[in-house]
Amino acid sequence: MQQEFTIKIDDTFTGPVCDYSVGFLKFGREGNHETATPMGTGTFVKLGKLYGILTAGHVLKELEPNETVGLVRFPSVQPALQNRRLNLAHTKRVMDWNGKECDAPDLAFVSIPDG
């Protein structure tokens, strides 16, 4: 017998999710205009004194180690949209992915520099 469920998603759920989520943007140029292409998402994490972003290996693979990327947040606090840039040359990365689509594990970690 199949049961039906109703799930209510409100600010008590979406607020914390938005506060810790981040989107990666890859910058490019079209003539004189800078463009930004969404590349994937991640989650801010902290382990002891180590801060970073947990994401998927297939996301990080598309971002060059010396590239500057955009980090976009949609927090529950104001201002609602936050956009920052991160030079990946100042980060460390760890990836566990064999490069094959849909293969697991597909994990990556990017450290966030102090200061």
Distance, CA of 9 to CA of 44 (rounded, Å): 22
Tens digit of each residue's pLDDT (9 = 90 or more) over 77-91: 666 667 789 999 999
Average pLDDT of the residues in 12-22: 79
> Which pLDDT score, from 0 to 100, does residue 1 have?
72
Tell me the domain boundaries of the chain: 11-111
Query: What is the token pair recorded at 57?
Result: 């290996």
Residue 6, amino acid: T
pLDDT confidence band for 16 (50 / 70 / 90): confident
| Residue 1 CA from chain centroid, whole number | 40
The mean pLDDT value for 41-46 works out to: 93
Q: What pLDDT is stored for residue 52 in this prediction?
A: 95
- % of the chain surpassing 90 pLDDT: 57
For the full predicted model, state whether its pTM sits above 0.85: no
CATH number for the domain formed by residue range(s) 11-111: 2.40.10
Mean pLDDT (whole number) for 24-40: 93
